[in-house]
Structure 1
Amino acid sequence: MPQDLSEHIVKSYDEQLKRLRELVVRMGGLAERQLADSTTALMQRNAEFAGQIIERDAEINALEREIEAFCIQLLALRQPVAQDLRFIIACLKVAHNLERIGDYARNAAKRTVVLASLPHVGSMNGFEWMARLVQQNLKDAIDALVNQDAAAAERVWGADEAVDKIYNGIFRELLTHMMEDPRNITAATHMMFIAKNFERIGDHATNIAETVHYAIVGDTLPEDRPKSDGSNYAVVRPPAD
């Protein structure tokens, strides 16, 4: 094969990998925006803004399909090996996690539409703080992919425990409000689902970090990552008479 043709093929392949990275970064940015806006809509109890977030989810879904098709094309035509193969497979997995993050942000927005018409229950500080942590973890996971930074990915992998602790606190507080006054049940239930949506977004950010770490170093992180979701075992005692 002539040298100039060989160089052209290599350059074309590098450009395709660059385009794939850009698509994933764009999708990550959209997912981050959905999460941030869902949090804003919740804190402001803004049903109209929440409705806009719901409608925007189609853009994330379309981008996932584009990334999937592009990855399949690369696998079929380029037959990548070693780190390139891991990177392309990682992009497939990351796109799937980002699509699920978009779904959870949309679901939170749907609950916010209902909450906006219900009486206020409890404090929103935990929701704001948890969403902020989750958004930072998501941003750091995507940055780790872009920068090929395995250490950063591992830090995200270990950062989800703080999110779980906040979620547990929200869960217990809302249970207490429900037991104190049955009129709080409807609003508190929607808030529990929103908190769970944020917690699951945190889990998907961790999944992305695990995938990125494997793509870079070719080795998996331990399965027993730090996690503190104890809501399944929460015990709330009824208020004293």
Structure 2
Amino acid sequence: MSRISSLEVQLSNVKSLLRTMCDAVNTGLLTLIQHFEHPNQDRLIKIVVLDSEIDNLERAIDTLILQILATQQPLGYELRLAYACAKIAHHIERIGDAVESLARQLVNGDIPEQKEIFLEMLNYSKDLFERSYGAMFEGDLTLIQEIHILDDKVDFKQRELNHIAKNILKKGTKSNIDNALRIISMSSKLEKIADLCCNWAEQIDIAENGMARRKIQKRKYRLVFLDDVGGMLASLAASILYQNVKDIVDLSVVATQPIKSNNILNFTNFLSEYEITPQIFPIARITSMNWNKALMLIILGNFELPKEELEVVPYKTVQIRWPEINFDPDEIENNPTKFKEFVNVLTVRTNHLAQIIARTQEQSE
């Protein structure tokens, strides 16, 4: 009977296989970037071969980890590391699948006209990959502490490409439809690669620090307040809710038009009576919003989200309507009685919403 290797040796073997797997995927990402810069179909064919190698490595890693759990019964850091490696191998395999799928699409067609945007997404994604790689195999955890910021840049570029694709679809010809669908498909795969790199980074963080001491802050979901009066009512609603949920979610304000005359700081004295500090939220236009990380849309008054935006809001995003929050910003600014009525109605709504968010947070922990 062959002697069972020590736990340290077995874990080292897992990480060695995982590193080989990551190197193969990184080669695929680099090949895609090179193809966008200097097209060469022969390079892309090699990515298909690499994908088979990646699949075989994932199976080998699964087998080794199962052997570790069965023969070593690891605890503490070693258990977290073994579990993380299994999860990471799965993430890397999915990244490899996305890279292969992109290569196949490029082999069967020309580089899209939006070459520069795709290149930016590719470079951001490769940066995310290299940061997670460095954190895992070089031990530099500072590389992944703010990894979600880079992921947000990928999301923004995907939004830009989806907007371009929607405009192309309006032209209606078969070639335009095929082109638009190709843009959407390719941008979705790049966004998926970025998300999987973030998942990889989070597994490294948990393995090294445990759940209680993890260094990467869990990505906050966003609550988006929307109104049709330049964002003034939405800003006030967000300010009232802010103190109760700031550690759980991020708040955003969206409007169809920019504020012209009103400013939330004009309400400082009124809000101070309720021990509320006005918060200055950047007011985004609808067309610039990325809805991917929106947990809830809180729609005030008579605001209606355009049909083309509704089509890109994720189906899991909850939409809440507060039709009674339908005040004239000028009137509540100049009439203390009207402002009090506004705050009383809004406070009931925001308190109820804060309770819902708190319960949602408890269930997810």
> For residues 97 and 121 of structure 1, do their structure 2 counterparts lie closer, same or farther at Cα, with a shift above 3 Å needed?
closer
Structure 2 stretches of 5 or more lacking a match?
223-249, 251-288, 294-305, 310-365
CA distance in 2, matches of 1:44, 1:160: 26
Residue pair 1:41, 1:109 contacting (<8 A) in 2 also:
no
Alignment of 1:41-60 (within 5 A): 41-60=35-54
1:201 aligns with 2:197: no
Q: Distance in 2 between matches of 1:167 and 1:209?
A: 21
Work out the percentage of aligned pairs sharing the same amino acid: 24
Alpha-carbon distance in 2 for matches of 1:66, 1:75: 15
Please, which of 159, 167, 177 is the counterpart of residue 176 of structure 1? 167
- For 1:235, what is the secondary structure of its paired residue? helix
* Structure-2 change in CA distance of 1:51 and 1:147 (3 Å): closer
Give the alignment of 1:150-165 within 5 angstroms. Answer: 150-165=141-156
Task: Please state how far the C-alpha of 1:234 moved relative to its aligned partner.
Answer: 8.7
Give the Cα separation in 2 of the matches to 1:121 and 1:156: 28
**Aligned residue type for 1:170:** L
1:235 is aligned to 308
- Give the equivalent residue in structure 2 for 1:105: 99
Any conservation in 2 of the 1:177–1:188 contact (CA below 8 Å)? Answer: yes
Q: Which has the higher strand share?
A: 2
Q: Distance in 2 between matches of 1:231 and 1:153?
A: 21
Following superposition, the deviation at residue 36 of structure 1 comes to: 2.0
Which amino acid in structure 2 is aligned with residue 210 of structure 1? Answer: E
Residue matched to 2:157:
166
| Distance of 1:184 and 1:44 partners within structure 2 | 25
Which structure's residues are more often helix, by fraction? 1
> Which secondary structure does the structure 2 equivalent of 1:159 belong to?
helix
Q: Deviations over 1:42-66 (max 9, x none)?
A: 5545444323322321000001011
Provide TM-score, normalisation by structure 2: 0.56
Larger RCO (CA under 8 A, 6+ residues apart): 1
Q: Is the CA contact 1:101–1:201 (under 8 Å) kept in the aligned structure 2?
A: yes
Between stretches 37-46 and 105-114, larger displacement belongs to 37-46
Residue matched to 1:191: 183
Give the alignment partner of residue 40 of structure 1, picking from 28, 34, 42: 34
1:147 maps to 2:147: no
Count residues in correspondence: 225
What RMSD over aligned residues (CA atoms) do the two structures have, in Å? 2.8
Which TM-score applies when normalising by structure 1?
Answer: 0.82
Residue of structure 2 equivalent to 1:239: none
Of 110, 116, 124, the residue aligned with 1:133 is 124
User: Structure 1 CA distance, aligned partners of 2:100 and 2:83?
Assistant: 26
1:97 positional shift: 0.2
Specify the alignment match of 1:124 in structure 2.
115
